[in-house]
Each structure stands twice: as structure tokens, then as C-alpha cells.
Amino acid sequence: MRAIWKGAISFGLVNIPIALYPATRREELKFRMLRESDLSPINYKRVAEADGKEVPWEEIVKGYEYEKGKYVVLKDEDFARVDVEATQTVDITEFVELDEVDPMFFHKPYFMEPEKGGDKAYALLREALEATGKIGIAKVVIKTRQYLAGVKPHEKGLVLELMHFAEELVDAGEFKIPDRAVGKKELDMAKSLVSSMSDEWKPEKYHDDYKEKLEKVIEEKIEHPEAEPRKAPAKRKATNVIDLVSVLQQSLKQTEKKTKKSAAHPKRKKAA
């Protein structure tokens, strides 16, 4: 895997040379728009709203709509005036308790690999963060954009996780969330249901069901292009919960049945 960025972690007078690698991958199924009659791919043109004429790239400018239908044009030199200096440094400005940071702030992780000469300082920073329960808060420029980021210990290494700025998060107060008192009986039953459905966290158990089913449909259509498509299963309609206790009791019974069934028929290991 190729590094997307190379630079250094900086805190105080310490500089640790590192390379940055994506920590996630998502392979989306890509589709093209086609003409039905001959499956010819459809291309799109840049057309002006005023007269419907196609506009060549050299005549296109960037504009900000400050009022409905009114624009101010920004040129390359305008963007250059606010361009943040790309220092190739993950500049840690402070360390904070991880527990104090709302998980909503984190959104994209990257692995950090130490470059030549940075192994010892890299290991030292990782151990210090692990021991103190803190993370480094930093700013980093990737390509041309500046990001807020957290430097975290992860297993034997360090992860740089891009973060949202505070103004990017929607305040929960904007939503109508009722402040309802909860009865002891309902709470006890809900806690029992949570307890009965609890298990160890095993991320490998979970898969993208939609993608897997869509891939299967694609394979079937490749093998049997003339076959009639199967009917989609009927969707379950959402219902308003009226008798909460009754619903909790039914849920507990279903969970107990599943637990007993699993205990009575443990999965056998497949033969090699």
C-alpha cells in the first residue's frame, strides 16, 4: 500500500518522521447510466442554465451564491490568499483525556508508520498516550485542506483520526427529543433484555448485507440474462409501540427461546 502523506509528528521539540496510510477501505459497486435500447454509456455535458449552451472548461469560473441568484466570483489568487501552509507536520498543540472527547467528533482513521530514525520516539509517544489515557489534538494539512485530528494509541501503533470541527456538528437541541420519565418495571425489563442480548464484540460477524445481496443479483443476471427477476420480499411496516411492557415481555421470550435453541444445538466445527 502506498502512503498518502509523509511528514512528521511534532510536539514540543520532538519530531517523529511518519508515513500516513488509510485505515479503512470501502469498495462500492459502481454503475453507469446506459441507453436502454443498445446499452450505450451516457455522458454528461456542462450546460449553462441561461441558454442551454455547452460551456468549455476554460470559460468556467467558481462562484459563491451569497443571495438567491447573486454570485461573487473567486479566482485562483483569492484561494491562494487563504491557503494554509502545507508544513507536512502533524502539529500536536495539546493532549486531552480521550474520555472527554465526544465520539461524534471522530470520523476517519489513518495508520501512522514510523519512518527511518523515528522508531524510538514513535514507541515512546505511543506508550505515553496509552499510560495516561490521553490523545494528542493536532492540525494537519493533507493535500490543500487543513484538518483537526486526534493522535491515538491503537494496538502496537499510532492512529491519526481526522475530526470534525465543533461548528460542523449539529446540536442535539435542534431535535424534538421528549424528556420522559421511565417506570422502574419497564427499565428492569429493558435491562434484562439488553443483558440477554449481550455478547462479546466480534466485528467479523457483521457484513454489508446489501452489497453481498446486490453482488449475488449481478452474478445471477450475468449467468441468466433472460431470467425473470424475483419479487422483492414484502417490507415490514413500522408500528407504534403502545403497550411497552407487553412488547418487552415478548422480546424477552423470543430471546430466551433463541438462547435455549443455541445451547441445545451448538455449532459443529466443519471438517477440514
Residue 244 falls inside a structural domain:
no
Residue 42 lies in a domain: no
pLDDT digits (tens, 9 = 90+) for 146-193: 899 999 999 999 999 999 999 999 988 888 888 888 888 888 888 888
Write the pLDDT tens digit of every residue in 99-119: 999 999 999 999 999 999 899
Strands 145-154, 134-142: pairing kind: antiparallel
Q: How far apart are CA 97 and CA 135, in angstroms?
A: 6
Within a domain: 160:
yes
Residue 103 lies in a domain: yes
Instruction: Tell me the average pLDDT across 45-60.
Output: 93
Q: What is the CA radius of gyration of the chain?
A: 27
Residue 101 burial (CB count, 10 A): 15
Domain of residue 151: give its range.
Answer: 5-26+83-168
Closest CA to 112 of 163, 154, 165, 164: 154
Please, are residues 67 and 56 in contact by the beta-carbon 8 Å criterion?
Answer: no
Query: 96 and 119 in contact (C-beta within 8 Å)?
Result: no
Spatial separation of the C-alpha atoms in residues 270 and 259, rounded to whole Å = 22
CATH number reported for the structural domain that contains residue 104 in this entry: 2.40.290.10
Q: What single string gives the DSSP state of each residue in 83-119? A: PPP---EEEEEEEEEGGGS-GGGEEEEEEEEE-TT-H
User: 197 or 230: whose pLDDT is higher?
Assistant: 197
- pLDDT at residue 86 greater than cutoff 70: no
- Total domains, the chain: 1
Q: Please write the tens of the pLDDT for every residue from 239-269.
A: 555 566 777 778 878 877 777 666 666 555 4
User: Is the residue at 212 inside a domain?
Assistant: no
71 pLDDT band, cuts 50/70/90, is very high
Q: How far apart are CA 103 and CA 134, in angstroms?
A: 14
* 233 within domain boundaries: no
Q: Per the domain annotation, does 65 fall within a domain?
A: no
* Residue 35 domain flag: no
Average model confidence (pLDDT) across the chain: 85
Burial of 9 (0-12, 13-18, 19+ CB in 10 A): buried
C-alpha–C-alpha distance, residues 121 and 128, integer Å: 10
